[in-house]
Amino acid sequence: SVNPMAYEAQFFGFTPQTCMLRVYIAFQDYLFETMLLVESVMLKKMDGFPDCKISPFELRKSTEKFLLFMKEHFDKLFSKMEEVLLQLVLNIPKNVLLPEDKVHEQYPDSKEQFQALQDEIHQLQEQYRAEASAGQALRAELEEQKVVQAELEKILQWFDGLENICRKYGTSNFKESFTFLTQNSKKLQDMLKDVEKKSK
């Protein structure tokens, strides 16, 4: 099975295999280009020798022979280099945790914790909303109380006003006044009876 080296890709920003492939293709291209350069230089030099019996075809065969040999060794050596680099350099050991993943070490049972926290938070939010409603209701009652208190105080003031009127017109104590008036009217009735009797 192929190790995708995803964790290494997270750190480096590229997969190590991609990096090695890029390097391999580049090296291979340089080898081919340089060989072509060698061949073209030789061809140019051969043009300078009119007695030269080497054909371009023969030269090409020599180039192919040398290139084949070089390519074989190149592939073997590159394969070893790739192995070493992937194991020792472009590799994150199994016991190593990258700094950005430290949180996973702190919260290993995060799935259960996440769910429990979500539930708790939901409950707290509901509680807060309820308290906010309760606060509004309490403040509304305070306003209502102001109105009711004002009305009740008005009634007491009305009683005060009534008593002030009575006092203004000379009657601060109705009980005493009525007792006095009742006694006086009884006296007057008695005097009238007396006068009527004496006149008869």
Single residue of 3, 56, 145, 194 touching other proteins by CB under 8 A: 145
Three-state secondary structure call for residue 49: coil
Single residue of 162, 191, 192, 195 touching other proteins by CB under 8 A: 162
Site for other proteins in 11-50 (CB under 8 A): 11-14, 19, 22-23, 26-27, 30-31, 33-35, 37-38, 41-42, 45-46, 49
Site for other proteins in 83-142 (CB under 8 A): 84-85, 88-89, 92-99, 101, 103-108, 110-111, 113-114, 117-118, 120-121, 124-135, 137-139, 141-142
User: Under the criterion CB under 8 A, does residue 59 sit at the interface with other proteins?
Assistant: yes
Q: Please give the Cα distance from 155 to 148 (Å, whole number).
A: 11
Q: Calculate the CA dihedral of residues 46, 48, 51, 57 and round it to 10 degrees.
A: 20
Closer Cβ to other proteins, 159 or 176, answer by number: 159
Q: Please give the Cα distance from 147 to 77 (Å, whole number).
A: 97
User: Considering CB under 8 A, how many residues would be counted as binding other proteins?
Assistant: 101
Whether 118 contacts 124, CB under 8 Å: no
Three-state secondary structure call for residue 89: helix
Q: Quickly tell me which residue has 């006092």 as its tokens.
A: 167
Q: Please give the Cα distance from 75 to 25 (Å, whole number).
A: 11
User: Under the criterion CB under 8 A, does residue 70 sit at the interface with other proteins?
Assistant: yes
CB of 192 to other proteins, least distance (A): 15
User: Under the criterion CB under 8 A, does residue 178 sit at the interface with other proteins?
Assistant: yes
